[in-house]
Amino acid sequence: MLEMFPGRIGQAILLILVLCAVAIGSRLALRRKWKARAISGIDKLDSWIKHASQLNRSVFFSPGTAGVGSTDTLAALALLRYVAKLCVQNDVKLIIANADLNVQQVTEEILKNAYDEAGKSDKYNVDCVRYLSGSIFAYAAGVMGLLRRERPALNIFLGAFSAESLEVAEAGRSAALYQFGGTSSIDQLPFFLATCDLTLLAGELYAAQSYLTNDPWDISRTVGEDVGKVIAILLILAGTILISLGNEFILNLLNL
Amino acid sequence: MTAKQKMTPYELLLQIVIFATGFFYAFTYYVKVSTPVDLQAIADNSLAYLTAMIITAFAIGIINLTRIHYRNIKLKRPDWKFSIALLGSLYGMAIFSMISSPFQLDPQAMVIPVWLINFIQPIWSFMYYNVMISINTSIFSLLAFFIASAAFRAFKVRTLESTILLVAGLLVIIGEAPIADLIWPGFSAIQNWIMLVPNTAGQRGILIGAALSIIAFSARRMIRYS
Amino acid sequence: MTKLNLETDPRPLYLLLIIVITVPVLSHTILPVPVSDTTRAVYNFIQNLAKTKPNSLVVLSFDYSTSLVPELHPQAIVVTEQLFSLPLKVIFVAQWVDGPALTDAVLDTIDKGSKKYGIDYATLGYIPNIATLIGMTTNIQQFFPVDTRGNPTSSLPIIQEFPAGKQASLLVTFTGGEPGVDNYLQYWQTPFGIPIAAGAPAISAPGYMPFYNSGQLVGILISMRAAAEYEFLIHEVDISGAVSAMVAQSASLLLVAILVILSNLAFVLQRSKRKGRP
């Protein structure tokens, strides 16, 4: 027999509501060919990679320290595809440092595919994609050493980070010309804001791919996310007003 | 992959598996099904199998590390001596941990001789508590210096927003110091208020936004392979 | 004379920090530490629990690695010390791989008094996945057939008395990140209403404030400072070494604050000079 877990019915209703909003928003955006809002400064990525090419310096990419199960990592890997393509086009060495073994295999594939698609398979070097350590501070130590030795022109830190974010970003700051960070970990965002020239804040990390590729399908999904956020804002406003008036309807609904 | 690109049969199969698995876990989280099949037990057991699969990835990682550092040693690349230290500590610690540690394979000494366990135990303890903890703690401690230099750079009176950030940041830093209360008790009260009210409000906003992005992101991965 | 620019070359700042931290640590200066509300909440909850429900079960989860030992290990020591001095039973688990070894380190540090292994406390070890975390709420023996010492859990009196994790009256998690508090909130607190307290490093603690505000967490221990506050509460000053580090911590924080104020004063004066020039 089917029965709902108590305390989760409200969540399920909300989830279905948000998913429907995402679907409707996506369809609308696809039909009306909406454009993604510009994410401030992200266009500079192209010029930074070109500058790295002119200086004959490399680009460093860190997809964070979480596994492939983390949505931050997946968003970072989506952006890695774009960065890898640019680096291969401009003949810039891309160094990727991983803290997770499954991510290591995915990043190897991504970089290899980028070289294959550009017809430069002979230039692919498997040593550019390195697994450092699963322990976050051992990873941080490895990245700090790598940044000081390789001296890349551009450091990109995207994905899920914990306490090591400031160490790698600060160490990279002294060596690199530009730094680009992005995470949805709210603890680490202030550190990236203080050390990076450009930071993607939380939701921007997920939206960045759609903005860069300008693919209508990706943009439509980003619009869908925004519709979900509108629902959340309306719920919060309605809930706040009702609670202030002594009505606990929305609270009871969410606690079902 | 864009909307215009068609999926190959392999990609379609993969997408069906991804969707079915994702939907299954979401369904079993909200709906309890005990008859005719206990879906919750299936979900829990399959997570255990997933753990086993993830652990095999460690073997691949160890092979990867060994391959890279063995080549460093063989070709005498720069810093090849550190590669010896890495491989030595990797395999040494693994073997010692299996013999005598909280993770030992034979805690009741049914197979491994007791004298070997007792011999290895102080070595493992030294390597773990005196070396590994000290090294990890030292790297973590670098944060103190980096936070100081980052704060020094970030807290500047350039605009109104950065001034508000500066004032709030300074009040929290001073309030966090245990001695601050001896200077003026108001410091910790202000720090508490900043942490409990504006900080919590901002964190909640980012948390909700990120959670919604994750829902939409995960939903689109379930629907469309890319 | 070379101009000092701490933004491009922060080494003088680092040197000052080293001096300001090292001198108080070496001199072992101890000063009283005011107790914060979030720390007192955890302490009071445990004290009340011992009074109202003696011999009830408390689960301690060691969810941190060796790198977070300075911040979380002192918290673990003082909380375990308090629990072992009260009529409460304790089960130790860990969501992080280093947890079991750190549990042993804590147990070697504290005074166990008359507490006996297997009767008053037990160390179950590492929780490898979510399935185990969920499953142990209903059946500990199935998911932990043996403890970290190789004993069958079915033979331990504490497990016979509390065969299911949901019988716990409190769970305290010393959490360095994920997996950590989030899992316990989702799978222990929400379905079973088990009160949860968290010990967190200073970097993560602000993120847990919403949960404390909403009552989902009974209290939060924030960084080594909470351990120092706790030492005064349980009257075991410097058992974990936290109190003697507080002067160093205060000095370094105040140094950073003073330097930031001075640099901004210099910045403002420079700007007004430039504006004043024709």
Write out pLDDT tens, residues C243-268. 888 989 999 999 999 989 998 998 88
Q: Is C207's CB within 8 Å of B203's CB?
A: yes
pLDDT of C228 over the 60 cut: yes
SS3 A131: strand
Which residues face B69 on adjacent strands?
Answer: none
What distance in Å separates the CA atoms of residue B2 and residue A221, rounded to the nearest whole number?
12
Q: Point out the residue among B107, B178, B185 whose CB comes nearest to the CB of C150.
A: B107
Query: What burial class does residue A5 get, using C-beta atoms within 10 Å of its C-beta: 0-12 exposed, 13-18 middle, 19+ buried?
Result: middle
What distance in Å separates the CA atoms of residue C137 and residue C123, rounded to the nearest whole number?
16
Predicted pLDDT of residue C181: 94
Predicted pLDDT of residue B162: 87
pLDDT of C4 over the 70 cut: no
> How far away is chain C from the Cα of A135, in angstroms, using its nearest Cα?
9
Give the position of tokens 């001296």.
A151
Q: Is C207's CB within 8 Å of A137's CB?
A: no
Q: Is B157's CB within 8 Å of C264's CB?
A: yes
Tokens found for residue B61: 């990682």
Please list every residue in chain C whose beta carbon sits closer than 8 Å to the beta carbon of residue B177: 249-250, 253-254
Q: Is A163's CB within 8 Å of C201's CB?
A: yes
Closest by CA position to A143, among listed B139, C87, C79:
B139
Q: Is A7's CB within 8 Å of C190's CB?
A: yes
Best probe of the A interface among C14, C65, C67, by most A CBs < 10 A, is C67
The band of C2, judged by pLDDT with boundaries at 50, 70 and 90, is: low
Rounded to 5°, angle at Cα A159 from B149 and B24: 150
Please list every residue in chain C whose beta carbon sits closer than 8 Å to the beta carbon of residue B188: 34, 36
SS3 C132: helix
When divided into structural domains, chain B yields a total of: 1
Q: Is A134's CB within 8 Å of B35's CB?
A: no
Q: Which of A186-190, B82-86, C43-47, C73-77 has the lowest mean pLDDT?
A: A186-190
Q: Is residue B65 one of the residues assigned to a domain?
A: no
What are C84-108's pLDDT values in tens digits? Answer: 999 999 999 999 989 999 999 999 9
Cβ contacts from B onto C, under 8 A: 151
Predicted pLDDT of residue B99: 93
Predicted pLDDT of residue B3: 47
Please list every residue in chain A whose beta carbon sits closer than 8 Å to the beta carbon of residue B151: 194
Closest by CA position to C16, among listed C270, C265, C257:
C257
Q: Is residue B120 one of the residues assigned to a domain?
A: yes
The band of B225, judged by pLDDT with boundaries at 50, 70 and 90, is: very low
The band of B180, judged by pLDDT with boundaries at 50, 70 and 90, is: confident
Which residues face C60 on adjacent strands?
Answer: C92, C172
The band of C72, judged by pLDDT with boundaries at 50, 70 and 90, is: very high
- For chain C, the straight-line distance linking the first and the last C-alpha, in angstroms and rounded, comes to 27
Phi first, then psi: give them for residue B134, nearest 5 degrees.
-65, -45
Residues 6+ apart with CB under 8 A from B17: none
Q: What are the angstrom distances between the C-alpha of A19 and each of A14, B2, B142?
A: 9, 21, 43
From first to last of the 256 residues of chain A, give the pLDDT tens digit: 678 877 788 888 888 888 888 788 778 877 887 777 777 777 888 899 999 999 999 999 999 998 888 888 988 998 999 999 999 999 999 999 999 888 988 999 999 999 999 999 999 988 899 888 888 888 999 999 999 989 999 999 999 998 889 999 988 988 889 999 999 888 888 899 889 999 998 788 888 877 777 777 777 777 777 888 888 888 889 999 999 999 888 888 877 7
What distance in Å separates the CA atoms of residue C239 and residue C227, rounded to the nearest whole number?
10
The band of B42, judged by pLDDT with boundaries at 50, 70 and 90, is: confident
Q: Is residue B87 one of the residues assigned to a domain?
A: yes
More confident residue, B103 or C197: C197
Q: Is B218's CB within 8 Å of A137's CB?
A: no
What distance in Å separates the CA atoms of residue A96 and residue A202, rounded to the nearest whole number?
22
- A94-98 vs A129-131, strand pairing mode: parallel
Predicted pLDDT of residue A62: 96
Q: What's chain C's Rg over C-alpha atoms?
A: 22
What distance in Å separates the CA atoms of residue C179 and residue B47, rounded to the nearest whole number?
15
pTM exceeding 0.90 = no
- Tell me which amino acid residue B222 is: M
CB atoms within 10 A of CB B60: 14
Q: Is residue B129 one of the residues assigned to a domain?
A: yes
Predicted pLDDT of residue C88: 97
Q: Is A187's CB within 8 Å of C176's CB?
A: no
The band of C189, judged by pLDDT with boundaries at 50, 70 and 90, is: very high
Residues 6+ apart with CB under 8 A from B152: C6, C7, C10, C13, C256, C259, C260, C263
Q: Do C30 and C141 meet the contact criterion of CB atoms below 8 Å apart?
A: no
Q: Does C265 touch chain B (CB under 8 A)?
A: no
Closest by CA position to B169, among listed B145, B150, B143, B141:
B150
DSSP letter at A184 equals: S
Predicted pLDDT of residue B1: 41
Name the range with the highest mean pLDDT among A129-138, B102-111, C26-35, C229-238.
Answer: C229-238
Predicted pLDDT of residue B115: 93
Q: Is residue B116 one of the residues assigned to a domain?
A: yes
What distance in Å separates the CA atoms of residue C7 and residue A203, rounded to the nearest whole number?
30
DSSP letter at C273 equals: H
Closest by CA position to A224, among listed A206, A198, A242:
A206
Residues 29-58 of C with CB under 8 A from B: 31, 33-34, 36-37
Which residues face C197 on adjacent strands?
Answer: C172, C219
Q: Is residue B114 one of the residues assigned to a domain?
A: yes
Predicted pLDDT of residue B226: 47
Query: Sheet containing C89-94: which strands, arranged edge to edge?
Result: C121-126, C89-94, C57-63, C170-175, C196-200, C217-222
Q: Is A186's CB within 8 Å of C203's CB?
A: no
Query: Sheet containing A178-183: which strands, arranged edge to edge?
Result: A129-131, A94-98, A59-64, A154-160, A178-183, A198-201
Predicted pLDDT of residue C7: 67
What average pLDDT does the segment C43-65 reach? 96
- Neighbouring subunits of A (3+ Cβ pairs under 8 A): B, C
Residues 6+ apart with CB under 8 A from A212: A42, A45, A79, A82
Q: Is residue B217 one of the residues assigned to a domain?
A: no
SS3 A80: helix
Tokens found for residue A204: 């921007």
- For chain B, the straight-line distance linking the first and the last C-alpha, in angstroms and rounded, comes to 6
What are B16-34's pLDDT values in tens digits? Answer: 888 888 888 888 888 888 8
SS3 B76: coil
What distance in Å separates the CA atoms of residue B226 and residue C239, rounded to the nearest whole number?
54
Residues 6+ apart with CB under 8 A from A92: A49, A52, A53, A57, A58, A59, A86
Number of H helices, E strands in chain B: 9, 1
What distance in Å separates the CA atoms of residue C242 and residue C232, rounded to the nearest whole number?
10
What average pLDDT does the segment B49-71 reach? 80
Tokens found for residue A244: 């202030």
More confident residue, B45 or B30: B30
Rounded to 5°, angle at Cα A129 from A127 and A134: 120
- C121-126 vs A198-201, strand pairing mode: unpaired
Q: Point out the residue among A7, A66, A163 whose CB comes nearest to the CB of C191.
A: A7
Secondary structure element (H or E) that encloses residue C197, with its range: strand C196-200
Q: Is C204's CB within 8 Å of A187's CB?
A: yes
- Neighbouring subunits of B (3+ Cβ pairs under 8 A): A, C
Please list every residue in chain B whose beta carbon sits closer than 8 Å to the beta carbon of residue C33: 178
Q: Is C67's CB within 8 Å of A163's CB?
A: yes
Query: What burial class does residue A213 get, using C-beta atoms within 10 Å of its C-beta: 0-12 exposed, 13-18 middle, 19+ buried?
Result: middle
What are B120-167's pLDDT values in tens digits? Answer: 999 999 999 999 999 988 988 888 888 888 888 888 888 898 899 899
What average pLDDT does the segment C3-23 reach? 82
Q: Point out the residue among C10, C134, C209 whose CB comes nearest to the CB of B200.
A: C209
Q: Do B118 and C94 meet the contact criterion of CB atoms below 8 Å apart?
A: no
Domain, as residue range, for B105: 78-143
Please list every residue in chain A whose beta carbon sits closer than 8 Å to the beta carbon of residue B207: 186
Q: Do C80 and C106 meet the contact criterion of CB atoms below 8 Å apart?
A: yes
Please list every residue in chain A whose beta carbon sits closer than 8 Å to the beta carbon of residue C190: 7
Alpha helices in B75-197 (DSSP H): 80-99, 114-125, 133-154, 160-176, 180-183, 186-196
Q: Is A194's CB within 8 Å of B151's CB?
A: yes
More confident residue, B6 or B183: B183
Residue C23 exposure: Cα atoms within 13 Å on the Cβ side? 8
Please list every residue in chain C whose beta carbon sits closer than 8 Å to the beta carbon of residue A135: 65, 67
Predicted pLDDT of residue B46: 81
Tokens found for residue A122: 């002979």
